[in-house]
Amino acid sequence: MIRRVLICCITFGLVACATQPHAPVTPPSSAGTPVKPATGPAEAVPEKKQDLPPVDLTPVPFETARANFVRDTAARYGIDPAYIEATLAQAQIREPIIAAMSRPAERVKPWNEYRPMFITQARIDGGRAFLAQHRDELMRVQERTGVPAEVIVSIIGVETSYGKNAGNHRVIDALYTLAFKYPRTGDPAKLEREVRRELFFRDELAKLFELAKLEQLDINTLKGSYAGAMGMGQFMPSSYLDFAVDGNGDGRRDLFNSYDDVFSSIANYFVKKGGWVRGGTVAVPATLAAGREEFNPVDWTPNHSMADLAARGYQPVVPVRAVGATATPITLEGSDGKQYWLGFQNYYAITRYNISKMYAMAVFQLSQAIAGKELPPA
């Protein structure tokens, strides 16, 4: 993911720091747990700006920053600093990761171009087969959490093609690279964001050490996306720590090999992070009265009543039966003109996995297709 990435020094040369092979490092004993591959260009996110603490833009030499990281991570999580140092000695600064993160943004694709990237007949058929294969586990999770099986399957389909493409980068290399060599554009106006992004990945690297300690993972063999997201659901280390759950009761949270854990963790993310409502609607198509202006709120929080939306010219095409339902209007550029939708709390929950209204709509519509429902034209 996303979380899904999803995501938060001076300009420096991109110096490759590949190390010589070392003997494997044995992890220390445990003291005792949704950006994800890129989903293609999406729309700018109209989220409310939060007040961020100031960040020091003074450049720090690589070796100093690295030594500070070892010291701080060891103290923060009670990990032997020698283990952290030995592990980082085997990590590599990867130029392909820097290049991927530096790649200029493509143009924003309209919905009628975006949807076909994710909703194909092969992905629908794959989702139906995956659901049939894991129906028992999925239905247990659906009953326990209220998150429909087809939505969980849709996330896995969009993120990793049902586990077939979970990433081939060593997570330690990806996070090490972005934690200490996040690319710089040289544009002073972008420096603060670049420093914050680097610090975000540095924190994720620290949390990777915590995760490996708690879950007894071999930190050197974990594979994921170029941004460090892992497993069938593409969780960053912080999301793994905060939202992964032990679905099969074996005492571990395994998002690589345990379907019970993967399904339970994705559902738990929706419930805990997104506020998923059991039995709630995700989104419904709507019309906008002729001559009325589109309403584009500053964020996607679904806090507009049906009466308020009706006053602005929006009407759902199908009845909304939930008493006191609130929603947010969604505008998509379709093949035959603009499409209007109303997104409810469960739509908002999907945007917490990857903050993109088109991503959320693609996940929703793929889930509908997997469930055998007819989709509207793109």
- Write out the catalytic residue numbers: 159
* Strands 283-288 vs 337-343: parallel, antiparallel or unpaired: antiparallel
Distance CA 248, CA 310 (A): 46
The encoded tokens of residue 272 equal 């805990």
The encoded tokens of residue 100 equal 């991927």
What are the φ/ψ torsions at residue 132 (nearest 5 degrees)? -65, -40
Distance CA 231, CA 275 (A): 23
Amino acid, res. 136: D
Please report the beta strands in 266-336, taking only residues with DSSP state E, as ranges in sequence order. 283-288, 304-305, 314-316, 326-334
What are the φ/ψ torsions at residue 326 (nearest 5 degrees)? -125, 155
Distance CA 321, CA 319 (A): 6
Distance CA 37, CA 59 (A): 30
Q: Which helix (H) or strand (E) holds 75?
A: helix 62-77
Which residues partner with 284 through β-bridges? 342
Which residues partner with 343 through β-bridges? 283, 328
Amino acid, res. 61: P
Distance CA 337, CA 340 (A): 10
Q: Give the C-alpha distances (Å, rounded to integers) separating 358 from 116, 319, 366.
A: 11, 23, 12
Across 26-45, b (16+ Cβ under 10 Å) vs e yields ebbeeeebbbbbebbebbee
